[in-house]
A = this chain, B = another copy of it.
Amino acid sequence: MSFSFDIEKKSTEVNLARAGVIHTPHGDIQTPAFITVGTKATVKSLTPEDVSKYVGSQAVLANTYHLYLQPGDEIVSKHGGFAKMMNWQKDNKPLPTFTDSGGFQVFSLGQALGHGVSKIATSEEISKRETIEETSNHEKLAHIDDDGVTFNSVVDGSKHRFTPEISMQIQHNLGADIFFAFDECTSPLAPKDYQRKAISRTYEWAKRSLAEHKKLGVSKATGEVQALFGIVQGGAYEDLRKESAHHMAELDFDGYGIGGSFTKEDMGNAVRWVNEILPENKPRHLLGIGEPIDILLGIENGIDTFDCVSPTRIARNGAIYTYDGRINLHNAKFREDMSPLSDDASWYTHKYTKSYVAHLFKADEMLASTLASIHNLKFLTTLCEDARKHIISGTFLKFKEDFIKRYYKTGE
């Protein structure tokens, strides 16, 4: 079975939003969808059955960079790909998977973390953009040239090199249904000149990724067809975003990724600029973005799939999404709160009280992270499912406004 994308229903309210279905060799993904992140071929603190049964995830995304370093993509290939390795399957058949290109980790672990900012910077951070030396900390962890990038492993400090061709070879070994062309993901604080250079490089690397993928054929790990997505970059600049979208649109990718970096404020705009240019009949994935508001803005502006580590990362710190905003279970008031962790009685985590989960956090028990992660992933998964229903019924805008009004009015 091969890869295809059907648009089921275009929004009657906004230009870009749509409900669709991505068909992969390992099953369908109803979109819009939140893709659960399993960085090192495990969704942190969850069994794969927790992910499929309790979260209801349709697909898992693993990180090329991490699996290349450990256990190594050859070992993953021997397992028959990372879905089989991690037991991401149902009735003994692997479920849909993604891998990212490795670009974000290789560059941004160096540059963005070197700058002390996260993927989405605040306007204040962005305002300092022009004052930062282009290569400061960046160069220490990764050296970029037009052919590829040389970097030091976060595992043991050893030296490695990624090129578009190597990224494709690795991702063929990892065996995901959907994978990404090698790109340069810049820091949100990089100056415009640098961002311009980066999109040219990303364009050249996209062409080389496509050529290498065609040369390799089916996945070495699974023997199945893989779908390659090209990545649009360009930071927060309208002209660069549009140029990069035109670059990618002209290449024969199966779908598209939109890479950071944005300010929180102009993420919706940047996505719109790009999606107005990308071919309508191919799926679009917004890389590494996942706060509830970001997801709704992304969907409104034509995004089909999302992934983000945030729901499980904040869960491990006790933070829980609720329709009335985010709460933190470390707060003493939850110790005697006998209300369920999740309001909806159909959710697995409805079976536990806030009091009990607060006890688990206080006792530093691993189950605290498990239950909070299941809840937060279910929250975002449900948000996407609800958005899909409302696109189909023509009520998306009211749904979005009601959600945002309630979430931000009473949240902590």
Residues on A facing B (Cβ under 8 Å): 40-42, 44-47, 50, 66, 70-71, 75, 78-79, 85-87, 335-336, 338, 351-353, 355-356, 358-360, 362-363, 365-367, 369-371
Contact = CB atoms under 8 A, between A and B. Distances in A.
A339 to B, nearest CB: 12
A18 to B, nearest CB: 35
| A79, A335, A359, A369: most-surrounded residue (chain B CB, <10 A) | A359
B79 A353 contact: yes
Contacts of A42: 360, 363, 365, 367
Query: How many chain copies?
Result: 2
Contact of A40 (B41, B45, B363): B363
B366 A44 contact: yes
Nearest to A353: B79
Contacts of A40: 359-360, 363, 365
B335 A75 contact: yes
A128 B371 CA distance: 47
Nearest to A356: B85
Contacts of A338: 78-79
Contacts of A79: 338, 353, 355-356
A334 to B, nearest CB: 11
Contacts of A359: 40-41, 70-71, 75
A273 to B, nearest CB: 38
B367 A70 contact: no
A70 B362 contact: yes
Contact of A366 (B336, B369, B371): B369
A226 B369 CA distance: 33
A310 B44 CA distance: 24
21 contacts: A40-B360, A40-B365, A41-B359, A42-B367, A45-B366, A45-B367, A47-B50, A47-B367, A47-B370, A47-B371, A70-B362, A71-B335, A71-B356, A71-B358, A71-B362, A75-B335, A78-B355, A79-B338, A79-B353, A79-B356, A366-B370
Contact of A363 (B50, B70, B367): B70
B367 A85 contact: no
A75 B365 contact: no
A355 B44 contact: no
A353 B366 CA distance: 23
A371 B335 CA distance: 30
Contacts of A85: 353, 356
A336 B70 contact: no
A158 to B, nearest CB: 15
A155 to B, nearest CB: 9
A123 to B, nearest CB: 36
A34 to B, nearest CB: 20
A391 B85 CA distance: 39
A94 B271 CA distance: 50
